[in-house]
Chain A
Amino acid sequence: MSDSKLNENGEKNSKIIEMTCIVCPIGCHLKVKVDEDGKFLSVTGNRCPRGAEYAKQEVTDPRRVLPTSVRVKNGELPLVSVRTESAIPKRLIFEAMKVVKSIEVEAPVKRGQVIVENLLDTGVNLIATRTVKKLT
């Protein structure tokens, strides 16, 4: 047991945060137990280990994958769809959009191509999610 305050049952004060897991479209209903400092203790309701990981992340540092698009020069399409390779801190979403809007890539673009390396020092790359051929 840690040295923080104990309640009358001799347990550390904890509370349950209810949330919907958004890792996949199944949307498990999670009950996340955190201590009085908001530290993750346990989770129930998840159907897979990724749900447990999400719950832990969500109560400490919530993250989201950012799907959006980037302008393309000389492409068959004016835009290429992009996303962050993995989730980035939620608080950086709008700052990331500013970066996204400031850039333009030259066609051809290949799916998986890195559009922005290490976006906002998150260690996460912004990648293209489709092919855009060069306009002929």
Chain B
Amino acid sequence: MKKVKYDVVVLGGGAAGMGAIKGALSENVKTLLIEREASTGGVLNQCIHNGFGIHVFNQELSGPEYHEMYLEKLGTFDAMYETTVLKVDEKHNLLHAISKDGVYEIEYGALVLATGARERPFEALRISGTRPAGIFTAGLAQHFVNLENKLPGHKAVILGSGDIGLIMARRLTLEGVKVEGVYEIMPYQGGLTRNIVQCLDDFNIPLHLSTSVIKVHGKERLEGVTVAKFENGRPVEGSERFIECDTLVASVGLIPENDLVKEIVEIDLSEGAVVDDLMRTNIPNIFAAGNNVCIHDLVDFVTMEGEMAGKNAALVSKGEKLPERKAIIKEGNNVRILSTKYTTASQAFKLYLRVSKPMGTTALYLNDERIKVVPVAKPSEMIELTLDPSKYKMRGKVILSALEVGK
């Protein structure tokens, strides 16, 4: 077994992990990236569509451009590729990892978790019928089409209106696949409105809300699906319709990837790692950033979180004492997701939230104080808040809630 020692170790080389490397290097500490794949970039490599970089680069880039341009900002750094961490031993600050050239024991001063998210699998939906070939998660279909030059089929149904599903509806259409429609069980869309416009409306692909797949047909290869209208979470009798297709693309959500640390780091109900405004978990020298904290809309914010996590991890590795947590932040009425669950009240910080239902003009409250009004609030679109502890009282328990104040 080989032994190495670093001040900061970053797990995962996607947008958050690259940000963490940059943050740590800015404090001149010895930093190591551990990445499962053969290169950095994570999912950016297969996200060839544009829409990345508005905040970080002040221009609209594709995923691969964002990745390469950010990588160029990093310069050289130590990295272990095609390496998997098997265990985090937080008591001794050790990682057990395995790579092509053997087993490693890696000692860290501070750790940054940047493991991203995985797709909710089709099987999680418990849909009846057969299990023939032709069923893909959206990200897998994206990988095949964009990196391997392989089309998943000829006629596709998209299940779920998450962003990757919408992006794939357009991508498959451009590549000559007939996309029959997008089916969403909820009464509202799952992805960004801009993607409804430029991926569906532009190509006359219908979006069927309150409708979902209830049965899969086909023996060897998918032959079709039965869809039905849904009311109160149940299929409406008599609304069933058979759709012939050879491909089903499921875009039904992302799950923060925390399997490695779920026994040691506090995890919330949406499976995200719980962090404070310094991106620190309940363990003082373990930080987390990106989609393993909560699912973000914009990669730019993932990068910024990563930079902060990396910098703070570096400070801790140098023995600096960071401020203590002063308040817990809780989801109040109509708020489903919060990116930050504790605050040290030591600095102004950014927090991202998702509402639990679509609303018109919406006021956001910190306890009883109105702090922001947004013209529209949708569960699919994250709301960004900057909270300044010199302006708002943040001690004990802070509740963030949303109230619709106009249509």
Binding site for B on A (CB under 8 A): 19-27, 29, 45, 64-69, 71, 77-79, 81, 83, 90, 93-94, 97, 111, 129-131
B55, chain A: closest CB distance, angstroms: 9
Residue contact A129 to B149, C-beta cutoff 8 Å: no
Report whether A78 and B149 are in contact in the complex, using a CB–CB cutoff of 8 Å: yes
Cα–Cα, bound, A134→B175 (Å): 25
Contact surface of B with A, Cβ cutoff 8 Å = 45, 48-51, 54, 60-65, 67-68, 146-149, 171, 174-175, 192-194, 196-198, 202, 297-298, 375-376, 381
Interface pair A27/B194, CB less than 8 Å apart? yes
Q: When A and B form their complex, what is the total count of cross-chain residue pairs whose Cβ atoms lie within 8 Å?
A: 80
- Smallest Cβ-Cβ distance to B196: which chain A residue: A20
Closest Cβ–Cβ distance, residue B121 to chain A (whole Å): 26
Q: Are B202 and A64 in contact (CB under 8 A)?
A: yes
Report the separation of the CA atoms of residues A68 and B376 in the bound assembly, to the nearest whole angstrom: 32
Q: In the complex, how many angstroms separate the beta carbon of A69 from the nearest chain B beta carbon?
A: 6
CA distance A26 to B297 in the complex (A): 9
28 contacts between A and B (CB under 8 A): A21-B194, A22-B198, A24-B51, A24-B54, A24-B60, A25-B194, A26-B54, A27-B193, A45-B375, A64-B202, A65-B60, A66-B174, A67-B49, A68-B48, A69-B48, A78-B148, A78-B149, A79-B146, A79-B149, A81-B48, A83-B48, A93-B174, A94-B174, A129-B62, A129-B64, A130-B45, A130-B68, A131-B68
**Chain A nearest CB, measured from B152 CB (Å):** 15
Check B65 against A129 for contact (C-beta < 8 Å).
Answer: yes
Inter-chain CA distance A111–B70, complex, in Å, is: 13
Q: How far is the CB of B141 from chain A (nearest CB, A)?
A: 14
B149 touches A67 (CB 8 A): no
Partner of B62, one of A21, A29, A67: A67
The CA of A45 and the CA of B67, in the complex, are separated in Å by 32
- CB-CB under 8 A from B375, the residues of chain A are 29, 45
Q: Which residues of A are found within 8 Å of B297, using beta-carbon distances?
A: 25
Chain B residues, Cβ within 8 Å of A67: 48-50, 62
Q: What is the CA–CA distance of A79 and B54 in the complex, to the nearest angstrom?
A: 26
B194, A20: Cβ atoms closer than 8 Å = yes
Tell me the smallest distance from the CB of A47 to a CB of chain B, in Å. Answer: 10
5 cross-chain pairs, A with B, having the tightest CB-CB distances, nearest first: A130-B64, A81-B48, A22-B194, A129-B62, A78-B149
